[in-house]
Structure 1
Amino acid sequence: MTRVVFVLVPGVHLLDLAGPAQVFSTVGQFGRPYELTYLAEDARVPSAQGLPLLAETEWPELRADDLLVVPGWSGPALRDSPPIGDEMLRRLRAHHAAGGTVASVCAGAEALGRAGLLDGRRCTTHHDVQDELASRHPGAIVVRDVLFTTDDRVVTSAGIASGIDLALHLVAARHGPALAARVAREMVVHTRRNGHEPQSSAMLRHRAHLDDAVHRVQDLIDERFTVPLPLAALASFAGVSARTLTRRFGSATQGLTPLRYQQTLRLERAEHLLGHGATMESAAREVGFEDARMLRRLRGRPAAGGDPRPT
């Protein structure tokens, strides 16, 4: 079972913590359980909202597929952040060096910066402290006005509610966009937030519409994007003609056809696999292509719907 360790510091913002924790807890309802651990240097952790929290103080044994998440905390400036011990910073560095993913919400990026994990990497944080983060960690590539970034297993989000977007992105990357969509619906949150974030999945970018028939077709494509899905079968599933489905799908998704939407999901999954060491041939076959030729062709053309190429 994959473990998610939330690293807490005094003054932690409750939503920075509770949002991602709720996402990973909800994933377990759909057959992908996560073990959630809350860790701090002191067992009693005061929150910014006045609710005291209890945390463990002994670090668990971590594997490469486990996640470390540092939620943000209250404070007017990063320079006034609570003390973050050397052992905590060492653990963050060691987990990343061992192949693990390290994430932060809001001011939590400061902890990653102190651990040296932002040097040469794209990152973001709450808009109030973006300039200070760039000043304090000049080796970091601070990206402004985005919900979250991901760069070489270092994932950072803008703050507060954007921690939910970050967690849904991680679920989509690990388990596919269909499961992320189910989690979002269970939590009654939008599966797409305003703004064009290159790291968000196609599922997140193309769900900001109110066409229920198109949503149902997207659900089916999300779940079965690795197999052939003829337009006639999708139209029958939606209870409309193929021509009507094509028109309504394009209107709802900024000009995509069902096939282009499916190809976008295949491409994003293949990019994820390639980024984790898969060969072009193996990635192509895992996402449903007969060989790597179509994958190479898709990687060479502009991204669907004018959206940024996934990275």
Structure 2
Amino acid sequence: MPETRDVVFVVFDGVKMLDVTGPAEVFAEARTLGAGYTLRYVSVSGGPVRTSIGALLPAGPVTDLCDAGDIDTLVVPGGDDLVGLPVPSGLVEAVRLLRPRARRLVSICTGSFVLAAAGALDGRRATTHWRHAPLLDRAYPDVRVERDALFVEDDGVLTSAGVSAGIDLALALVERDHGPDLAREVARGLVMFMQRPGGQSQFSAPLALRAPRVPALRAVVDLVSAQPALEHTATSLAAAAGVTPRHLARLFQAELGTSPARFVEDTRLDHAKRLLDAGHGVAEAARGAGFGSPETMRRRFVARLGVSPSRYRARFSATGPGDRSG
């Protein structure tokens, strides 16, 4: 008989359904191949919860686990109400109660906010959905947020990026528990990547910046955003702002937390992604975004996004039910 590993999901009203069912299906698929996973769902109320899609998810009480032995993997899924609002105290206490019983602690997507509120991420590296990573960074300064990672492990605490990244993390746990051969069979059965290429930056939306307060900086930001293909240098940007290059660098750091060169590169990457999304070729996108050559753009894509422009285009530009066999 395989070793039994008890996987417990802490669920709540508004929990993101795929944050639960995605990882659960990975463990369940592994079970059909001989892995000894058991799956349980508990809630603070001790009864069913209504998920993000309106379906009810049966769940037992958290307190029952206190007399039921150790937990192998404690999973805290995400939910929209965990961001921008105080994390429910009952949910935080449930994690604090169950955490000492678990061999490893896992969060999916915005479930990282629950772990952070419970103090489980203090002094640790962690990630979350790219859209909410800046808020996690600001709200919990003791957490070292890695914004591009699909998932992060730090001393038995594992956090994943948005939604489907929880499936990637669950597969990685299966590989760790039972080896790459079984994990590969799970991936094949679920028609998924064994290891998804690139980080979550490739999925992020274009830069969303508040308008700078300083008019000189606003003029530079507007210029680069409107015409990323121009040859923007520290000298030319400073001249457009009417300040010295050193002063412009201080303005960028103070208001935007970046450098002029990094802002130009980020803007060009965003513009190139939009051109590729719209179906433009790699060479055309490189020219339009100001990279100078397709090879320069390729190096930037690989360094920042973990994928080449052509692979990014293949992944995101096509829509519809056409043949994807190639």
TM-score tier after normalising by the smaller chain length: 0.5 to 0.7
| Partner in structure 2 of residue 74 of structure 1 | 80
How far off its partner does 1:82 sit?
4.4
Out of 56, 59, 70, which is 1:63 matched to?
Answer: 70
How far off its partner does 1:90 sit?
2.0
| Partner in structure 1 of residue 156 of structure 2 | 153
Contact persistence 2:82–2:114 (CA under 8 A): no
Q: Does 1:46 align with 2:50?
A: yes
Partners of 1:92 and 1:78 in 2: how far apart?
25
Question: Which SS does the other structure have where 1:5 is aligned?
Answer: strand
Contact persistence 1:126–1:159 (CA under 8 A): yes
Partners of 1:3 and 1:119 in 2: how far apart?
26
Contact persistence 1:10–1:82 (CA under 8 A): no
Contact persistence 1:149–1:155 (CA under 8 A): yes
Q: 1:155 to 1:86 in 2, by over 3 A?
A: closer
Moved more, 164-173 or 131-140: 131-140
How far off its partner does 1:188 sit?
1.3
Aligned positions of 1:208-227 closer than 5 A? none
Aligned positions of 1:195-234 closer than 5 A? 195=198
Q: 1:141 to 1:53 in 2, by over 3 A?
A: same
Structure 1 residue ranges, 4+ long, deviating more than 4 angstroms after superposition? 80-83
Partners of 2:89 and 2:51 in 1: how far apart?
15
Partners of 1:189 and 1:143 in 2: how far apart?
24
Equivalent position amino acid for 1:69 in 2: V
Larger Rg: 2
Question: Which SS does the other structure have where 1:183 is aligned?
Answer: helix
Partners of 1:84 and 1:170 in 2: how far apart?
28
Partners of 1:50 and 1:188 in 2: how far apart?
27
| Partner in structure 2 of residue 94 of structure 1 | 100
Gaps of 5+ in 1: 198-305, 307-311
Aligned positions of 1:243-258 closer than 5 A? none
| Partner in structure 2 of residue 144 of structure 1 | 147
Question: Which SS does the other structure have where 1:117 is aligned?
Answer: coil
Partners of 1:149 and 1:72 in 2: how far apart?
16
Q: 1:103 to 1:143 in 2, by over 3 A?
A: same
| Partner in structure 2 of residue 162 of structure 1 | 165
| Partner in structure 1 of residue 34 of structure 2 | 31
Partners of 2:144 and 2:64 in 1: how far apart?
30
How far off its partner does 1:122 sit?
0.8
Tell me the alpha carbon deviations over residues 35-81 of structure 1, each in whole angstroms, 9 at most, x when there is no partner: 100000121211111111110014323426x1000011123834354
Partners of 2:82 and 2:116 in 1: how far apart?
18
Contact persistence 2:123–2:143 (CA under 8 A): yes
Superposition RMSD on alpha carbons, in Å? 2.0
Contact persistence 1:9–1:84 (CA under 8 A): no
How far off its partner does 1:84 sit?
3.5
Partners of 2:138 and 2:90 in 1: how far apart?
19
Question: Which SS does the other structure have where 1:75 is aligned?
Answer: helix
Partners of 2:34 and 2:93 in 1: how far apart?
34
Aligned positions of 1:274-285 closer than 5 A? none
Tell me the alpha carbon deviations over residues 158-182 of structure 1, each in whole angstroms, 9 at most, x when there is no partner: 0211110000011111111111111
Contact persistence 1:15–1:161 (CA under 8 A): yes
Gaps of 5+ in 2: 201-302, 304-326
Partners of 1:51 and 1:2 in 2: how far apart?
27
Question: Which SS does the other structure have where 1:160 is aligned?
Answer: coil
Partners of 2:25 and 2:194 in 1: how far apart?
15
